[in-house]
Amino acid sequence: MAQKSLALELYSNADEAVDQRYMRQMREQDDEPVPTDPSLPSFTLVVGPSPFSMPRGWEFFLTSPYEGASYISTVLHNAGFPVRIVDVRYALNPLKTAFDQIVGQTDVLGVCTFEDNFPFCRELMQMVRDAEPDVPIICGGSLVTSVPHVFMESTACDVAVISEGEITILELMESFAAGKWEQDLPNVRGICYRSPAGEPKRTRARGQMMDLDSLPRMRLDLWPQYHSPMGMQPQIISSYSRGCKMDCSFCYRTTPQVRAKSQEKMDRDMAWLKEQYGVDFCFFVDLTFSSHRRQTIEICDAIKDHDIRWTCLTRCADMDVPRVTAMRDSGCDIILYGVESLGTEVLREARKGSSENLTVRAMRTTFENDVRFGSLLIVGLPNESNESLNHMVQFAETYNHVTRVKYLSAMPGTTVYKQAIASGLIRSEIDHLNWLSIEQALHEDEFLNISGLSEGACRDAYQRIYDAYQPGPVMDFKHYPENFWYFHPQPHDGLDRSTSYAGTGWREKWSSAAGGLAPGSGRFTLDQCASPEVAALGSRLVPSGAEMMRRAAALGGA
């Protein structure tokens, strides 16, 4: 068996008696939710901002309800706990907006962590701790799972939930409601916590749920958008599986082992989303949607009865005519492929298990069966050369099939991250986490120059690939927040394939959109979060959004 690159506790299974009990409870309470009991402790779950931009047609992804927060809030709601989601992803001042909805209004605070929201999490938790020292703070999500030691050593987090959270949050809240945290926490698997003396402790791993059919149907009405004047948007982020059979060097997975819902469970979930919330488009964020042919066809059979359009992520090696046909017939608009690069040595170093031949075969199979092919590309992977990078640019410009390009990020917990720390490219983990909070997925972003290519070559390649974008699947999105930021008007429409899909001028007003950078983001530019040598390799030629904020602040502007 190949050596596993992620923390070993992520590869365990939640298969003990207590796990079985809570999975049974989730099933039963999905059928018959417990009425909300105001005597139980209330729980507020905060979803913080991300600077990440999305290309034209994908803006719905920035505002959609998503599974992690939806499942955590749903299992608690179904168990009778008073639950609220505070969503400040696109607030002008997310810290103040969140704080004002927390203090004096909750018994327990939950904070969703992402790779790019560490400063927000850290500052919000400290503000709440200073105002209400007795309110417990629980963190969950990908970032705290990847670097729990940072949260326990450097933030006001009381409990860090590792990997999946549905079982763990039920066990934690039941214990808290019974007033038994001090005696129970050492025995709650899959967490880091503080002892009564304040010392960080870690419990045994819980691992992944063996049966995803025990998950409830998501209660999207717990999101504030549901109660807004515009109502719930009809696009949703969902999945039928967790985990990934691959082990790419740049990708972090909180759930590396593959688990999947049954066809019957998927059918029930889709019927619920359609009938209860009017969902008409779904982004399936399974890491490898079409990994297994028979399973893919069965899941597509479950989807096709619900009259939705959808998109998904998958690998070029996992596509053939039976799979793409089933996907097309069930409403698939575009399939997003993790191409990343075409360089043989690049793909080998990244452990992609792919090749240029596989990519071209998948592209032709997809196009020939009337589904759009979407490339996801990375600029700056190890072993990239000027020749291989230019080849990837020509590939993008020839086929006009790009859905996303980004500079390589050293994501916490990954092989690339560990190597960057060992080599001194990352000065400190906290510095790096702060810096990740200003990455907007734009040409002008700062980047860690891991490939050794010149900054100019990387930026030129990024710009040309970015200009080769194709339209996203939701061009008539109507839930734009009033304070979205819009980037890079582009009069060039691309190939006829793009205009036949989205019309002429489909991105003449903007190519990407995002929530604004959080106030104070100018503190986290690379020249302040890395060594001068590292900063010089990826931040000299173009000022980033955070650098522009800092310059404006220095001049007394906004």
213-222, 480-489, 549-558: range with lowest mean pLDDT: 549-558
What pLDDT score does 208 carry?
A: 95
What pLDDT score does 1 carry?
A: 40
pTM summary value: 0.96
The model's pLDDT over 183-212, given as tens digits with 9 standing for 90+, comes to 999 999 999 999 888 899 999 999 999 899
Sorted by sequence, the CB contacts under 8 Å of residue 20 that are 6+ apart come out as: none
- pLDDT > 70 in the chain, percent: 99
Question: Hey, what amino acid is at 486?
Answer: Y
How far is 539 from 180, CA to CA, in rounded Å? 51
Structure tokens at 512: 């990407």
SS (H, E, C) 102-158: CCCCCCEEEEEECCCCHHHHHHHHHHHHHHCCCCCEEEEEHHHHHCHHHHHHHCCCC
The model's pLDDT over 278-333, given as tens digits with 9 standing for 90+, comes to 999 999 999 999 999 999 999 999 999 999 999 999 999 999 999 999 999 999 99
- What is the rounded average pLDDT of the residues 142-161? 97
Give the chain's length.
558
Structure tokens at 454: 């010149």
pLDDT score of 558 more than 60: no
pLDDT score of 125 more than 70: yes
Structure tokens at 111: 């904070």
- What is the rounded average pLDDT of the residues 209-217? 96
Closest CA to 179 of 77, 72, 76, 41: 41
How far is 79 from 65, CA to CA, in rounded Å? 21
pLDDT score of 368 more than 60: yes
* DSSP state letters, 401-457: -EEEEEE----TTSHHHHHHHHHTSSS-HHHHHHHHTT--SSTT------S---HHH
Mean pLDDT taken over the chain: 96
Q: Label residue 2 by pLDDT band (50, 70, 90).
A: low
CA dihedral (447, 450, 456, 457) in degrees, to 10, reads -130
C-alpha distances in Å from residue 107, one per residue of 137, 434, 449: 10, 29, 44
What pLDDT score does 557 carry?
A: 59
Q: Label residue 4 by pLDDT band (50, 70, 90).
A: confident
Is the separation of the CB atoms in 526 and 538 below 8 Å? Answer: yes
Q: Which domains does the chain have, with CATH numbers?
A: 12-209 (3.40.50.280), 234-478+524-539 (3.20.20.70)
Closest CA to 143 of 116, 123, 169: 116
